[in-house]
Amino acid sequence: MKKYICVSVLALSACTTKPLEMSVPTQAGHKLHSARVAVQSCATEADIGGNAAVIGAYPTFILMSSVLVGSVIAYTGREELRRQGEIDQVDRCMTELGFERRNLTGGEQFWLHHSSGTERVRRLDHLVGGGTIESYAEPKV
């Protein structure tokens, strides 16, 4: 019985959503505009991943417990499962296009939030291209 409970808890914890951190898609030689176009094209596939996550959860939870309990568990967690499935599908699509998700550090988030207009676009272009704060050169006026 203890094994059964442990496996059920493990299955539930595996389906929890990862916190979505502030991130940028990166690929050498690309800028903000090309990354934005790639994200917009991949966003159309988000529903596919969300639906697949929810549909896959029902039989998984039913096999892990019983028809009634498994259905209730899958139903109550369906929004989180859908959200994580959508995120994962967009990430897969972006990977196919050659982009990689790069979570920004606290310093990089601060650096971006304290800029505006063209300077913010320049900084985002730099980060999308794979740069860091340290390798960023201020524009010469």
Give the largest Cα separation in the chain, rounded: 71
Tens-place pLDDT, residues 54-104: 888 888 888 888 888 878 887 888 899 889 999 999 999 999 999 999 999
- For the segment 24-32, the average pLDDT, to the nearest whole number, is 91
Of 15-24, 82-91, 100-109, least confident by mean pLDDT is 15-24
Percent of the chain with pLDDT over 90: 40
Residue 25: closest CA among 83, 78, 87: 87
Domain ranges of the chain: 1-7+26-101, 103-141
Mean of all residue pLDDT scores within the chain? 82
Q: What's the average model confidence in pLDDT over 22-51?
A: 91
